[in-house]
Amino acid sequence: MNKISALLLLGVFLTAATPNDNTLASYSGTLVDTKCYTMMPKANAGNDHKVKDMKSGKMMDMPNCASACATMGIPVALLTKSGKLHVLAAPANQLAKYMAKEARVEGMESNGVLIVNKLEVKDGNKWKEVEIMYMMK
């Protein structure tokens, strides 16, 4: 076997042995903002959050905080019932009005991020698809 054939065979073997991180995935859970949720998970899984007042150091209520964070571009994640967080590669400002809603997401998972192909939110007893506008498709 010559050197080129051996190198090609090694390349094929290494490619087959390397796990593919780009996998199709689908999850359901609740939409949360990544900043507040990761700082205080128990208090900030909904749309209204608890935040610390910078002057007094006391905790205060911040209504619609998750929506405000998403509007400002802070990444949105899907929190599953098992407690796993999936960061969504989608324009956060387009998801702002759906924060703290139950959602189903399908997409390509790569390096711990879910590239969103389809996102649905629960609206009453029905599922409603959210149209996500990207620069390129």
Number of domains in the chain: 1
Looking at the domain assignment, is residue 4 inside a domain? no
Q: Where are the beta strands (DSSP E) in 1-137?
A: 23-33, 49-52, 59-62, 76-79, 85-89, 102-110, 113-123, 126-129
CATH of the domain at 69: 2.40.50
Domain of 34? 20-129
Looking at the domain assignment, is residue 134 inside a domain? no
* Nearest CA-CA partner of 91 in 78, 108, 76: 76
At residue 21, the pLDDT reads: 65
Looking at the domain assignment, is residue 29 inside a domain? yes
At residue 129, the pLDDT reads: 96
At residue 130, the pLDDT reads: 96
At residue 98, the pLDDT reads: 97
Both structure tokens of 14: 């290494």
Looking at the domain assignment, is residue 11 inside a domain? no
Looking at the domain assignment, is residue 99 inside a domain? yes
At residue 42, the pLDDT reads: 85
At residue 12, the pLDDT reads: 38
Looking at the domain assignment, is residue 60 inside a domain? yes
At residue 16, the pLDDT reads: 39
Looking at the domain assignment, is residue 2 inside a domain? no
Looking at the domain assignment, is residue 1 inside a domain? no
- What span, in angstroms and rounded, lies between the C-alpha atoms of 133 and 69? 19
Q: Which residues of the chain have pLDDT under 50?
A: 1-20
